[in-house]
Structure 1
């Protein structure tokens, strides 16, 4: 069995000139209740009806997955017509869908332009099926500014922040593709998991970008995702990973109630300055204090520390013992991540025996230290591998067209 790679479009080259386009209708997908209310007011919905209409639309869009206003059977025909005249229920465009041999799915998504002279942006979103749950890894930015040396996404420049609606739309689209909507059959074209149980139950903000550099949008996106009458993902099932933007960590906990994950990867400042350059601004001592101060952290809500295993770099027994010392007193668990290779990387993955010895030292000190099984490596969907593959896809398209000619 081999990985599948399905392209959904045939587009001109990235360097082609951008033609000005007329203003597009706003999609209502992914909007908070407050934003939905503002949109409906602007379309002339009477204020006395607003609360009811917002509840109706939130239910249809984010609980039932409605892709057209005509599906909203308890909304009057006149209202549906007015909605269709002013708004859409458009999702991001799927440029390609890749399916790994292990069931992991990666979507390259194209987002609409944010203005007449701004090119549409592209991001990647990954769905990871596991026994008893399914995890969706969402992006919060187009590109990244942090330049972590082991991470492929860090080699891509930051283009812009995503809006809250664009973050939520990644979950909406995943549910479309997986047939994962409440109270109905899978929509036409959906790819439904064969065992009936591998649907999206958990969200991790571990895709492209640093979530805490886009915290307002991340906060609003979590509000929509966690709405019990809408998408209904519990806040304890939502994890936000940061490389260590210390000033925003307390606010993340206070305003979202999300689980916290720290992209740590080193136990001393000298090495972390190299692997995670933001450490020069917010060194380990400050980071650990921010973790101790994180709202809601407890043995029931442990902070996850992510630690990528790099051969001969950060994987010695001495570093495992120092990691234990560093986390003393914190409600923590450690995810050990075998390094996932990418073209041009200067690093190699630690040997399995080395990883097991590291894990054993941490485990004996009383910390859970699972070794994360690499998922989706064959489609570059594993941790640290995400990067827009637009140029590669378009090069393949050119080659196919030239061969056909």
Structure 2
């Protein structure tokens, strides 16, 4: 595990405060109302909204003073009532492969306490993928997922989801005036964050409205400007919300499948007890916009002796027949206390060969960021990890004393 040296990174921006209204994550109508509240005349609201949108999302500024085309007195009023600050960075880690993980702290919501989530940047050849969280914790309790061992605290707001994207772009130098850290592994040209995947902490479809709003901002051509074909939303199978995802959000869809039989998926992905595989497959077949150009990605974590047999590979092919699809085989990423092991490499290759012969692109995703617990299924807030370690230590001590 490598903690990034602060001297090689851009200066950490100040954290947003709970007292001032955060403008990050507001849509244009809400931004207009915020401007009216600080005394902007109605005839100027539309122009000022466009200016704020430009500075917040295209330029990535965190200080109203930087908005040089806005009158100084209005900047002063905005600064007194509103915030565009980045979230507090609790820690920032860099893997040996260049993967970056941030533990971010957000202010309390209402009478609650500050919360922490993890966000991961994965640099690859020609692309940089940002893995974004949608909830603090998770309710799904998937057996192989570290995040699932952390109880759900709350949904993230649209602003908190967008803030992760802004923070990452700032830290790696993907805004016009931001500096890329010395020695950082990033794409050699073009944008440094090219893709967003809603695959971090939480189930995005259990926070649908906030995720939808955040992804509209992420794909807005006058702001963050990411193509919706470069935004992927991953769900464990919240069947009633899948049609709305295609119709209302328009992002690419990924299904966290991991098993081809209900009795096994009931254990690995417990939401299957409510929405079994047959219902999930039907929702996929009727997904709005589905085509060979907009394939669904089926994620399949490879668990040794659990779901990795040739028979299961052939059943996976049968299940997906007629669905424009890609299969993403994920070697299991271990975490403290996990009951599973990763399949042997030969077993994974045999499984991949079967689905490849059937015409499904199924690259074996080389694990990234394992050394900093930043790989798929490993995200969890540091405070929760510490509490889990304390519980394990206490249980071990009790077992040792025979109490």
Q: TM-score, normalised by structure 1?
A: 0.90
Return the alpha-carbon distance in structure 1 between the equivalents of residues 224 and 182 of structure 2: 18
1:243 to 236, 240, 249: 236
1:14 maps to what in 2?
Answer: none
- The structural deviation recorded for 1:70 is 1.2
- Decide whether aligned partners of structure 1 residues 193 and 73 sit closer, same or farther in structure 2, where only a CA change above 3 A counts: farther
The aligned counterpart of 2:277 is: 284
1:304-338 CA-partner distances (Å, limit 9, x unpaired):
00000000000000000000000000000000000
Alignment match, 1:167: 161
Question: Which residue of 2 is the match for residue 138 of structure 1?
Answer: 132
Deviation at 1:29, TM superposition (A): 2.1
Which of the residues 348, 360, 363 maps onto 2:356? 363
Instruction: Point out where structure 1 has 5 or more consecutive residues left out of the alignment.
Output: 9-21, 397-405
Q: Quote how far apart the aligned CAs of 1:85 are.
A: 1.7
The equivalent residue for 1:28 is 23
Q: Distance in 1 between matches of 2:196 and 2:31?
A: 23
Give CA-to-partner distance per residue, 1:61-95, whole Å, 9 cap, x none: 00001111111111111221121121121111000
- TM-score w.r.t. the length of structure 2 is 0.90
Q: 2:225 aligns with which of 202, 227, 232?
A: 232
Could you say which residue in structure 1 is the equivalent of 2:106?
111
Which stretch shows the higher mean deviation, 276-285 or 79-88? 79-88
RMSD: 2.1
Q: 1:129 aligns with which of 123, 132, 149?
A: 123
Change (3 A) 1:6 1:276: farther
* 1:323–1:395 CA distance, 2 compared to 1 (3 A): closer
C-alpha change, 1:130 and 1:295, in structure 2 (3 Å) is same
Runs (5+) with no aligned partner, structure 2: 8-16, 390-403
Deviations 1:292-314 (A, max 9, x none): 11111110010000000000000
Q: Is the contact between residue 179 and residue 191 of structure 1 (CA under 8 Å) also seen in structure 2?
A: no
Tell me, yes or no, if the aligned pair for 2:123 and 2:187 is still in contact at 8 Å.
no
2:65 paired with 1:70? yes
Q: Deviations over 1:368-397 (max 9, x none)?
A: 01111100000000000001112657999x
- Is the 8 Å Cα contact of residues 241 and 263 (structure 1) preserved in structure 2? yes
Instruction: Measure how far apart 1:192 and its partner are.
Output: 5.5
- Alpha carbons 2:146, 2:377 under 8 Å: kept: yes
Residue in structure 2 matched with residue 296 of structure 1 by the alignment: 289
Q: Cα 1:45–1:229, aligned 2, differ >3 Å: closer, same or farther?
A: same
CA gap of 1:175–1:266, structure 2 versus 1, over 3 A, is same
**What's the counterpart of residue 4 of structure 1?**
3
Report 1:55-94 matches (<5 A).
55-94=50-89
Q: How far apart are residue 6 of structure 1 and its match?
A: 6.4
Report the equivalent of 2:368: 375
- CA-CA distance at 1:47 after TM superposition: 2.0
**Counterpart-to-counterpart distance in 2, 1:190 and 1:50:** 41
Superposed CA offset, 1:270-299 (max 9, x none) = 100000000000000000010011111110
